[in-house]
Amino acid sequence: MKVSSPGLGQNLPGRKLKGRRTFGGPKGPGGGRVRFRLARGHLAAVYALGVAGAFLQIAGGTWDVASHIVNTPETFLTPQHSVLYAGIVLALGASGLGLLLRWGPMPKGSADRPLLGGLLVSGIGGGLQLVAGPFDLWWHETYGFDPHLLTPSHSLLIAGIVLTAFGMALGSVRLLEAHRRGAAPGGRFATPRALTALVVLALAALWMALNGLLYLLLDADGWAYTFHLGPAFFDAAQVPMFLAATALLAGPGTLVLLTATRLLPDRRTVAAIPLLVVGTGALGNVGFRAFILLGRGDPDGAALTAFLPLYLAFIVPILLFVLFLPEGPPRLLLLGAALVGPFVSFVDGFYSSVLWTSVAEDVPLVLGTAALVGLLAGLTRVRFARILSGPTLPAPAPTPARPSP
């Protein structure tokens, strides 16, 4: 922050100064304007803003899906929508600052320009959400309440959430790795502890967002509703799509955990990722639905309340996998991925609550298919990690030594 002298042309708001983009603010002491300079050193803070937005989006989205399932009064201005759209605003703000960094202190050809890639991806997701928000408002006002994910407005919104989470995970992972090589800008949030915390939060958001993408694509009721396929399609597709989704939910979380164990040397830090996912599911999904349904005297509320301790227990084998999986032969890692896959699937909370409370006889089938998905995630772990890590950035050139007098 700097107080500029009044009347000097070189201090006009918005003018570049020494490779930085400046913004006029309120008048400070002496009549000058307090000016904010956006510089390379703000990149970590920009990602902190965006990662917080990505996590709020998926947390609010999870809560909103749960509220749709239990048919809570539907208006646009609900608490869950407030959390969701607060996250959208934060992530959009971060992406906007990323554009200013591209135009200012990180122009084309800059060594750390690749670090802005995550903000670009997130910005595309934010653009979709800018369309989805008003569209969703119009949709509900026109067609009323709809407990379906696969509607045009919800599809745009979920696609934006997924892109935002992916962009912030990609950007925070690349920023942490660049920092370890000494190739990243400094700044207040550019410390190993702060950047590690950003990666943990971003990977937890990515896990839940990829789960949401599976919810969208395998929503049999939504397919029948949106495309007018009729009850015959729903009756034929409901069970196969439910079982497929329950098994495939083993994939995103297993990939995220395997990536995190490669990226973060402290396994206790990695353990925070599933704790965040399960905590979000317990509060915003299973626990919330149980609370609402119990208040109505609905017997499904008692069933969800009984399921909640089991849901929380599913994290135990996941934590054991994270904390004690040795970095030894690949076969052992693949075996661990197959074994943990079903438990990763069960902490989604939506499909697992139906599985364990309504169709428990199908659990053995899901165990086998989810284990297979976990194994496939283990086989593709390196490729997934490379997508997030991206190209290796060059280390900064050494400062030439000054000649001795």
What is the structure's pLDDT at 213? 94
Q: Are residues 88 and 181 in the same domain?
A: yes
The answer as to whether 225 is a domain residue is no
Q: Are residues 165 and 289 in the same domain?
A: no
**Position 35 confidence tier, pLDDT thresholds 50, 70, 90:** low
Please state, as a whole number, how many other Cβ atoms lie within 10 Å of the Cβ of residue 54. 36
Q: Are residues 183 and 288 in the same domain?
A: no
Listed residue (211, 192, 304) closest to 256, CA to CA: 211
- Helical H runs in 144-219? 152-180, 192-217
For residue 393, pLDDT over 50 is answered with: no
Q: Are residues 58 and 204 in the same domain?
A: yes
What is the structure's pLDDT at 3? 33
The answer as to whether 322 is a domain residue is yes
The answer as to whether 405 is a domain residue is no
The strand pairing partners of 3, in sequence order, are: 34
The answer as to whether 27 is a domain residue is no
Listed residue (52, 83, 43) closest to 67, CA to CA: 83
Q: Are residues 152 and 272 in the same domain?
A: no
pLDDT one-digit tens code per residue, 168-215:
999 999 999 988 888 777 777 788 999 999 999 999 999 999 999 999
Average pLDDT over residues 229-254: 93
- More confident: 167 or 402: 167
- Domain total for the chain? 2
Q: Are residues 55 and 115 in the same domain?
A: yes
Q: Rounded mean pLDDT of the chain?
A: 83
- Model pTM score: 0.86
Average pLDDT over residues 113-125: 90
CA–CA distance, 99 with 41 (Å, rounded to integer): 15
Listed residue (202, 210, 214) closest to 276, CA to CA: 202
What is the structure's pLDDT at 326? 76
Q: Are residues 207 and 323 in the same domain?
A: no
pLDDT one-digit tens code per residue, 358-381:
999 999 999 999 999 999 999 999
**Position 269 confidence tier, pLDDT thresholds 50, 70, 90:** very high
The answer as to whether 229 is a domain residue is no
The answer as to whether 54 is a domain residue is yes
| Sign of the CA dihedral with 368 first, then 373, 377, and 379 last | positive
Q: Are residues 281 and 189 in the same domain?
A: no
| Percent of the residues in the chain that have a pLDDT greater than 70, as a whole number | 82
What is the structure's pLDDT at 74? 64
The answer as to whether 18 is a domain residue is no
Q: Are residues 102 and 195 in the same domain?
A: yes
- Full residue range of the structural domain in which residue 120 is found: 40-217
Buried b (16+ CB within 10 A) or exposed e, 26-38: eeeeeebbebebb
Q: Are residues 145 and 62 in the same domain?
A: yes
Listed residue (148, 162, 157) closest to 81, CA to CA: 157
23 three-state secondary structure = strand
Q: Are residues 278 and 381 in the same domain?
A: yes
pLDDT one-digit tens code per residue, 65-103:
899 888 876 666 788 889 998 999 999 999 999 888 887
**Position 107 confidence tier, pLDDT thresholds 50, 70, 90:** low
The answer as to whether 371 is a domain residue is yes
Q: Are residues 89 and 192 in the same domain?
A: yes
